[in-house]
Chain A
């Protein structure tokens, strides 16, 4: 063995600035992975049992038809054979848990089911987004056909017909083959909590409602109501820089800060707003150099980051 190049390689590799190992982080992530694997095994056993039982029923001349991948085919309203209890929907999950890092894309749509009984986000005009959901998320469909989406704690986070917004990223479904994910197509991997988007009022432009932006995350009281003389918490979406804000349910504007990125590094700036006049709001937030003055703005159709 020629040691010269091997020694040189050793020396070059020794120069690599390897960051310290986060063994504690690995242990925490590993324990979560083990829990998920155990859950998957239990779910798989339950599914296999259900398949055996279903096969037995069919073999005995039962009337139970095979369901779609979502597991709800045949559960039509008024069907006397339909059970009175909600039926679980086969929901694809991706293992993300609160506290994990996540990608920053946003997706919106109306929660619903496709013809196969799979959960989809309906974007309107025929567009439809299939998604993988955070770890522990489940869905069930009522005998009447309404779908309910629940988080890992079993709490309902959305139901069929509601518009939701989720964070995460688009990608292939290759890593998570699932009967409810279109093979080879792009799906959205949800890496956030599910947030309900209020229906747009007829008088609201898309900018004011946050349609296509982060309006639903604007959870400060001042985002919805801020009369003259009042002070209230305000949240500003600054992903593309600090410029626009939803205040008192309308669009406001300030001199741009951040040069296209959040001036503090955080997409959501939470602070306090005081409306000092009909057309003047003063906003303060930790991390900003000083108070920011907003004034009413005209919607800007070229700006998509509200």
Chain B
């Protein structure tokens, strides 16, 4: 399979997970879509390197975290040009906002560092060792941060309430 075909297959398979990761990191749903797009775009320009990586997901999610950190530092550049203009009629987004807002409220007490661990361990499903390598931490730190994050989530009244019936 050539680079474009390989990239297309990967992007299609991971798109939802990348968007959800953006929401876990604290983005709105629209920002999360932008973040996933920016991440994949940045990976595409170096796709041969991504293909050679030991763990492709670890590489791509590291890019996702870097893009997210960049976007927080450079708020003015939050809007990026896209091929699809948003100016079009759409259905009532209230339900969509509710769903995204439930996640945001549930994760409100998590620090950025805890969110990153949740993304890598839970959504990217990286091992503790791989997560530690991506974040530059000791595996034990990853383990303790994930435990604390899940403990906080267990205390969150919004996590169960936010679910749609």
Taking a contact as CB atoms under 8 Å apart, the answer to whether B163 and A15 are in contact is: yes
Taking a contact as CB atoms under 8 Å apart, the answer to whether B20 and A29 are in contact is: no
Taking a contact as CB atoms under 8 Å apart, the answer to whether A27 and B29 are in contact is: no
Q: A residues within 8 A CB of B1? A: none
- Once A2-B154, A13-B24 are accepted as A-B contacts, the answer to whether A26 and B95 lie under 8 Å apart by CB is no
A235 part of interface (Cβ distance < 8 Å): no
Closest to B106 in A: A12
Taking a contact as CB atoms under 8 Å apart, the answer to whether A30 and B45 are in contact is: yes
Q: B residues within 8 A CB of A42? A: none
In the complex, A286→B81 CA distance in Å?
Answer: 27
Taking a contact as CB atoms under 8 Å apart, the answer to whether A17 and B154 are in contact is: no
Taking a contact as CB atoms under 8 Å apart, the answer to whether A12 and B16 are in contact is: no
Q: Which A65-93 residues sit within 8 Å CB-CB of chain B?
A: none
Closest to B99 in A: A15
- Which stretch in B55-63, B132-140, B145-153 binds the other chain? B145-153
Count of CB-CB pairs between chains A and B under 8 Å:
128
Instruction: Give chain A's interface residue range (CB within 8 Å of chain B).
Output: 35 or more
Contact of B44 among A4, A19, A20, A33 (CB under 8 A): A33
The interface bits of chain B over 108-129 (1 if a CB of A lies within 8 angstroms of the residue's CB, else 0) are: 0000000000100011000000
Taking a contact as CB atoms under 8 Å apart, the answer to whether B74 and A13 are in contact is: no
Taking a contact as CB atoms under 8 Å apart, the answer to whether A5 and B41 are in contact is: no
Smallest CB separation, B78 vs chain A (Å): 10
In the complex, A102→B77 CA distance in Å?
Answer: 12
B54 part of interface (Cβ distance < 8 Å): no
Q: A residues within 8 A CB of B74? A: 172, 174-175
- Once A8-B153, A12-B159 are accepted as A-B contacts, the answer to whether A21 and B12 lie under 8 Å apart by CB is yes
Q: B residues within 8 A CB of A20? A: 15
Contact of A21 among B11, B82, B122, B151 (CB under 8 A): B11
In the complex, A27→B84 CA distance in Å?
Answer: 13
Taking a contact as CB atoms under 8 Å apart, the answer to whether A37 and B159 are in contact is: no
Smallest CB separation, A105 vs chain B (Å): 12
Taking a contact as CB atoms under 8 Å apart, the answer to whether A2 and B44 are in contact is: no
Task: Give chain B's interface residues, CB within 8 Å of chain A.
Answer: 4, 7-8, 11-12, 15-16, 19-20, 23-24, 29, 33, 36-37, 40-41, 44-45, 74, 76-77, 79, 81-87, 95-96, 99-100, 102-103, 106, 118, 122-123, 146-147, 150-151, 153-154, 156, 159-160, 162-164
Known: A2-B150, A6-B153. 4 other contacts (CB 8 A): A12-B102, A15-B163, A21-B16, A26-B40
